[in-house]
Structure formats: C-alpha cells, structure tokens
Amino acid sequence: MSIIGASNLTFTYAGAPRSSVEDVSLEVSPGEFVVLTGPSGCGKTTVCRCLNGLIPNFYSGDFTGELVVDGMNVKEHTTAELSSHVGLVFQNPENQLFSLSIERDVAFGPENLGLSREETRRRVDWALEVTGITDLKDRPPYELSGGQQQRAAIAAVLAMQPKIIVLDEPTSFLDPKSALEILEVISDLNKKLGITIILVEHRLDLASKHANRVIVMDSGKIVLDGPPKQVYGEQARLIGIGVPRVITLFNLLQKGGLEFSQTPTTVKEAAQELRKMLSR
C-alpha cells in the first residue's frame, strides 16, 4: 500500500504558458527516503506544493489527475487537514520561524490542532529531543545559527507527527558541517521513526548516502526513477544534474582504461574500490 500515489498529475499555474508538472504518475511506499532532483524549473517545488495541498488549495491554476497522500485526496482536503500527515520544510528556515522562542514555534502546530496542553507539551519535548535542540528551547530563532534554525523548523513540522516529511533544499543556506548534520537528523527520522522522506536537493553528493531512491524530473516530467546506483548509471540522461563527484571521477578513470567491478556512489564505496586496485 503506497503512502503517496499520483496518477497523471498535471498542474499549470494560472497565467503560465505551459504546465509545471505534466502527467506525473508515482507511487511511494511508507518508509522510503526519496531524493527528488532535476534542473531549475523542472517542477520539483510544484510537486512539493501538491503533496501538502498548497496546490490546488492555495495556488490557483489548472489541476488534473489524482494525488492521494496518506489516504487523502488532496483535492478533497485542506492544507490544514493535510498538515498533520505531511510536513513541509523550506529552504530558508527564517521564512518558517516567527515566534519569540523556539519552544513556542514548535508548539504552534500542535496547539492549532486543538490538542490538549499535556499532549502538546509531550510532542514539543519529543520533537526538540529528536532534533537535538532541547537546550535551545527558550532562545529566540533570530539568535540561532542557520543549522540550529533549520533543526527548529524540522522540529516544528515533526511536532505535528506527520507520516511524511517533504524538504525543499533544506541545506542550501547552511554551512557544510550544519548541512551534513541536518541530513543525519533527516536520516534518523527515516530510519528510527519510519517517516517517509521526500528530499529535494541539487547537491546529490550530500544526499546519496541516505536515499534508497532518486527521482529525476525535467520539464515537468519524471525522466528517471530508481535506486541511486541505477539512476547515476544513466549518464547520458543526467545532463545538467550534479552527479556525485566520485562518479565523475570513476567515469574518467574508466574512460582512461581502468576497470572496476562497480561504479561507486559514495566516498566510502569509492575508497574501497580504489584501495583494491592500488594495493594489488
């Protein structure tokens, strides 16, 4: 039973000359970690907006096909209803945090679900704990570093206890170390809590390690969909996609006549392959 099911999903923003998402059909199973990538303007962000009902509820345009998320047809439910099933985390955490303390920000969602004080308390404590920011709960967001802010934005979404979390380039404003840490936090949510992750990311170097599936979009359509290894193997069709540098390196070495048993997708695998060859 899939947790996200799209069939022939097409959306055209009001006044736009062509559709941003075109005839997309897609099934995602519970607990998957999906990286969604593709060149600017390929429709990634539009897909994210569909998943939590911002499209068609908030953005006007022409919506055809079906999209069912956690058993709910997005055309028949409001974004508010969907928000406790699908959490959306944006690129810039500053756009998402607005309270005078992190704790208040994280409590905002559960309070608005009309949960009891005790339940809200429990969820806030839990979300802060899982994202590792319990000690920052009384601080205002604007005093925190970008990485801490992004953790808070994730905690605020997590407190709604969604089954799916959609993240739209969550690391692009972060320093490299914070970016790696945030990806670990996301990976933990996936592995330990079984939350389905849809991660939009240009920097596949960072994301490949955690994902079980990579979907590549171009001009509103899905052009590749599979495990990272299989997708990165389709060199010819990945023009404009930032495949991990180790793959580029291995392709160069292979062109130069070296033979490897597999093309690695992570630094660790690459190191193992090269070690075999260099210690022969």
Partner 1 sequence: MIRTEGLKFSYPSASEVLRGIDLTIGDEEFVAIMGENGAGKTTLVKTFNGLLLPTSGRVTVDGVNTRESSVAQLSRDVGLVFQNPDHQLFSETVREELAFSLRNFGYGEDTIDRRVTSILETLDLSRYADSSPFVLSGGERKRVALAAVLVWNPKHIILDEPTIGQDYQQKDRLRNFILQLNTQGKTVITITHDVEFVAECKPRLILLSKGLVIGDGPAEDILSDEQLIEKASLARPQIGALMHELRDLGLSDRVIDVYSAEQAILGALGRRR
Report whether 136 contacts 168 (CB < 8 A): no
**Alpha helices in 134-203, H assignment, sequence order:** 146-158, 176-193
Name beta bridge partners: 173: none
* Interface pick for partner 1 out of 173, 212, 219, 221 (rule CB under 8 A): 173
* Interface pick for partner 1 out of 75, 121, 242, 260 (rule CB under 8 A): 242
Kindly tell me which of 54 and 249 has the beta carbon lying closer to partner 1.
249
Check residue 147 for interaction with partner 1 (CB under 8 A). Answer: yes
β 33-37/213-218 pair status: parallel
Kind and range of the H or E element at 245?
Answer: helix 245-255
For residue 152, the Cα-to-chain-centroid distance in whole angstroms is 16
Kindly tell me which of 46 and 120 has the beta carbon lying closer to partner 1.
46
Kindly tell me which of 13 and 108 has the beta carbon lying closer to partner 1.
13
The encoded tokens of residue 159 equal 């407190």
Check residue 40 for interaction with partner 1 (CB under 8 A). Answer: yes
Check residue 276 for interaction with partner 1 (CB under 8 A). Answer: no
- Distance CA(120)–CA(110), nearest Å, equals 6
Check residue 192 for interaction with partner 1 (CB under 8 A). Answer: no
Task: Please state the closest distance from residue 86 (CB atom) to partner 1, in A.
Answer: 23
Task: Please state the closest distance from residue 16 (CB atom) to partner 1, in A.
Answer: 10
Task: Please state the closest distance from residue 2 (CB atom) to partner 1, in A.
Answer: 28
Beta strands in 39-83 (DSSP E): 61-69, 72-73
For residue 118, the SS3 value is helix
Residues 196-225 that bind partner 1 (CB under 8 A): 202-203, 205
For residue 265, report the phi and psi dihedrals to the nearest 5 degrees.
Answer: -115, -10
Report whether 67 contacts 41 (CB < 8 A): no
Query: Which of 242, 234, 237 has its CA nearest to residue 207?
Result: 242
- Distance CA(60)–CA(65), nearest Å, equals 16
Kindly tell me which of 117 and 276 has the beta carbon lying closer to partner 1.
276
Check residue 17 for interaction with partner 1 (CB under 8 A). Answer: no
Name beta bridge partners: 217: 222
Check residue 48 for interaction with partner 1 (CB under 8 A). Answer: no
Return all residues near 116 (Cβ < 8 A) that are at least 6 apart.
Answer: none
Kindly tell me which of 109 and 244 has the beta carbon lying closer to partner 1.
244
How many residues in the shown chain lie near partner 1 by CB under 8 A? 44
Kindly tell me which of 27 and 184 has the beta carbon lying closer to partner 1.
184
Which of these segments, 73-81, 104-112, 220-228, 236-244, binds partner 1 (CB under 8 A)? 236-244
Check residue 169 for interaction with partner 1 (CB under 8 A). Answer: yes
Q: Is 148 exposed, middle or buried (0-12, 13-18, 19+ CB in 10 A)?
A: buried
Site string for partner 1, 65-104 (x = CB under 8 A): --------------------------x-------------
Contact positions vs partner 1 (CB under 8 A): 38-41, 91, 145-147, 169, 172-180, 202-203, 205, 239-242, 244-246, 248-249, 252-253, 256, 258, 267-268, 270-271, 274-275, 277-280
